[in-house]
Structure 1
């Protein structure tokens, strides 16, 4: 509980809240303009990726028209085929190549900031003129410059990092629900 108390204080830092707001505004603008949200992450972040995509396709708090969103970690068949044929570091880049278009958004989550497949996806997305948002933990500071928006949870604890990623994503989902109502 003490780690959550300290983290909750750090999360209200004006610089961090401004970064989160800017990233969310960019994401919402892209979706409203017709872009698709592509979400990537491994392990618990893959579960969050699926959850976030579902919120945009469905709804978070208000009924609205569905918005295009895809979790690149969703298809076990695709992930294992690509991992087997091309290497695990390409499981997200292949999905981006197939689905990503200029004007889309890649939301990439890596608690460490060093997941090779997430880093490769960010690089490919930027080459394809796809808006990039990276969410990571304190060890992922090295991602700064690798994405249009890099949001760093000031924690080294994986559960806390993932909980904050979900908090931020829910904030953006609620903003879309209100805007597109």
Structure 2
């Protein structure tokens, strides 16, 4: 017996229609988001968080990055941009994605509970002068909230990226950045946009001619 996924029974016309529809909806959403992201107070907040990232690196700190699911993939991407490069060649910079080690995640999750998977990473690696970038589209992920609390206790600067509501994140971090959307894919895409902007700034500032 061959298992057939439900998508196997969909007609070619339906496939063409839905694929085109989702692209159109995404483009339309981004057109609206692009305007919303230009709101002056949001721009100022994102810039302030970016300066905090640069200042942590200038002071010899490490960038810690954390997120669950799709945000974990973004966290890994962001850490890699600092260790490698984003747009311009430069010396490697210290950054760690707290979700990268499956061994650590599963060990901590099994022994202490999933809510502690990032807390122990912050406690073992974080030092005053470091900076934690924590992503939660809902703002309610216990693992992210506990990591932010642990970071604050250790004198680590915190940047939280979330969606429109922010869940329980407001007041939980030094910088809380809200994407003006409630739709997870768009929220995560904006998180990547902001992080890329900070990584690009670091690359530019690392060049010999940068003032």
TM-score (norm 2): 0.84
Unaligned runs of 5+ in 2: 1-26
Residues 141 and 152, structure 1, Cα contact 8 Å, conserved in 2: no
| 2:86 aligned partner | 60
| From 28, 33, 36, the counterpart of 1:7 | 33
CA–CA distance in 2 between the matches of 1:142 and 1:89?
Answer: 15
| From 147, 155, 160, the counterpart of 1:134 | 160
RMSD over aligned Cα atoms: 0.8
Is the aligned partner of 1:40 residue 2:66?
yes
CA–CA distance in 1 between the matches of 2:96 and 2:125?
Answer: 9
| 1:74 aligned partner | 100
CA–CA distance in 2 between the matches of 1:142 and 1:180?
Answer: 35
CA–CA distance in 1 between the matches of 2:99 and 2:116?
Answer: 12
Residues 64 and 130, structure 2, Cα contact 8 Å, conserved in 1: yes
Runs of 4+ with >4 A deviation: none
TM-score (norm 1): 0.98
CA–CA distance in 1 between the matches of 2:82 and 2:92?
Answer: 6
Residues 40 and 107, structure 1, Cα contact 8 Å, conserved in 2: yes
Number of aligned residue pairs: 181
Higher relative contact order (CA 8 A, sep 6+): 1
Unaligned runs of 5+ in 1: none
Is the aligned partner of 1:97 residue 2:88?
no
